[in-house]
Amino acid sequence: MEINDIYNGKTRAYGIIGNPVEHSFSPVLQNTIAKKMGINMAYLPFTVEKGSVKKALEGAYLLGFDGFNVTVPHKVEVIESLKDIDPLAEKIGAVNTLKKVENGYKGYNTDILGLGKCLDIEGVEIKDKTVIVLGAGGAAKAAAVMAAVKEAAEIYIVNRTVEKAENIKKSLEKYYKGKVYAIGYDALYNIEKADCLINTTSAGMGDGNTYSVVEDKTFFKKVPFVVDIVYVPWETQIMKDASEMGTRAVNGFAMLIYQGIASFEIWHDISIDNETAKEIKESLEKYYNGGKNGR
């Protein structure tokens, strides 16, 4: 009989809470990082109903869970159950990582750290530059806060419903000294040039989807770098159009991996260097694609 000694009495417990969680990539991601970094931990998915986050965390604390990732629909609801919150997560108003502290959990937002790490590893500088964010949901807010804390010179928030872009603009203006513009898609084409465009809209998401919110692809001639937070399809229409115009484009898979690495760093008080982070990303990319997309 084969002995299974992956876990033992010293194994530390982590997990992801959300609903649904069965399609989450985080268990594979975190258990892979743990193996690579030689840390004795287990990471499992937990379905938690809306309204039950507080009780779930009280139970988890008593059981000695050291940390969690938090996904849809709990990223905002979880805040009221925290003992402490990181200032960056507070600025975004959403939490995706919990770390055990005395009497409960402290909340962080590593979605923003993941995006920052992605730009860093891609060699894209934001400081004093012009950043365009497409969309005005939770992901857009995280992208806009990232641009603000990295001291971009100007940030354009472009959304179908301009009022939602205005709300993000108002919250940024409380601390950000640069210029913020909230505009609709018609005004996008008046922007003369930008250094980085981040698509956070879900409009082009889903296998076989060929829709792009940027209808005139020649616009990409004015932007040298594009990040699409979507990674299904692997190459979104925005990425295809951007590449056609000579613009470098990456999908959201790197952000997914780097937000997980950032959570792992917080839990274990370590720093994973860019080279190791890239190696982890490339291995998981191969695993995820399983030979699809020519990778």
Q: Applying CB under 6 A, which residues contact ligand ATR?
A: 135-140, 159-161, 164, 200-203, 213
What size, in residues, is the chain? Answer: 295
* Catalytic residue list contains 75: yes
What's the CA gap between 31 and 13, in Å, rounded? Answer: 11
Q: Which is nearer to ligand ATR, 33 or 182 (CB)?
A: 182
CB-closest chain residue to ligand ATR: 137
- In terms of Cα–Cα distance, which of 126, 161, 160, 162 is closest to 144? 126
Q: Which is nearer to ligand ATR, 160 or 222 (CB)?
A: 160
Helix pair 138-149, 110-121: axis angle to 10 deg:
60
Catalytic residue among 35, 75, 179, 278: 75
CB of 225 to ligand ATR, least distance (A): 20
End-to-end CA, the chain: 37
Contacts of 170 (CB under 8 A, 6+ apart): none
Residue that has been written with the tokens 């004795």 in this structure: 40
Q: Which is nearer to ligand ATR, 133 or 284 (CB)?
A: 133
CB of 172 to ligand ATR, least distance (A): 16
Q: Which is nearer to ligand ATR, 85 or 213 (CB)?
A: 213
Q: Which is nearer to ligand ATR, 98 or 139 (CB)?
A: 139
CB of 285 to ligand ATR, least distance (A): 22
CB of 144 to ligand ATR, least distance (A): 11
What's the CA gap between 248 and 237, in Å, rounded? Answer: 13
What's the CA gap between 23 and 72, in Å, rounded? Answer: 12
Q: Which is nearer to ligand ATR, 34 or 172 (CB)?
A: 172
Burial of 127 (0-12, 13-18, 19+ CB in 10 A): exposed
What's the CA gap between 183 and 161, in Å, rounded? Answer: 9
CB of 268 to ligand ATR, least distance (A): 28
The per-residue DSSP string of 231-274 comes to -SSSS-HHHHHHHHTT-EEE-THHHHHHHHHHHHHHHHT----H
CB of 292 to ligand ATR, least distance (A): 24
**Annotated active-site positions, please?**
75
